[in-house]
Amino acid sequence: DQQVKQNSPSLSVQEGRISILNCDYTNSMFDYFLWYKKYPAEGPTFLISISSIKDKNEDGRFTVFLNKSAKHLSLHIVPSQPGDSAVYFCAATSYSGAGSYQLTFGKGTKLSVIP
């Protein structure tokens, strides 16, 4: 039962254009969402997060949008740069007291930014 789904295993984008990575979730109890970037042979690096009380959060070139009714979030990267080429993981969590917190990850989308 995959609660966080990234349906596109890969995405190719031209340098300078917008990259849009998508993520769907099924658990309505999720209330905190994060995006991570992972280069080969390195651990995931935190990019940006959003609480369920918001529908948008921006940090430089990265913007995360949350649509709670559709249980969908997306990460926009504008403009895309070759250094953005990596695997991007969507993650979600809910917390209902000690012992009930964990981060659930999607399987990732490999982004390739073409110079």
Partner 1 sequence: EAGVTQSPTHLIKTRGQQATLRCSPISGHTSVYWYQQALGLGLQFLLWYDEGEERNRGNFPPRFSGRQFPNYSSELNVNALELEDSALYLCASSLGPYQPQHFGDGTRLSIL
Name the residues that contact partner 1, by CB under 8 A.
Answer: 32, 34, 36, 41-46, 49, 51, 89, 93, 95, 98-108
- Considering beta carbons, is residue 79 or 110 the nearer one to partner 1? 110
DSSP collapsed to 3 states, 36-53: EEECCCCCCEEEEEEECC
State the residue for tokens 């369920």.
Answer: 52
- Considering beta carbons, is residue 14 or 28 the nearer one to partner 1? 28
- Considering beta carbons, is residue 25 or 36 the nearer one to partner 1? 36
Considering only CA atoms, which of 102, 104, 85 is closest in space to residue 38? 85
The SS3 call for residue 82 is helix
Distance between alpha carbon 56 and the CA centroid of its chain, in Å? 13
State the residue for tokens 């658990």.
Answer: 27
- Considering beta carbons, is residue 43 or 60 the nearer one to partner 1? 43
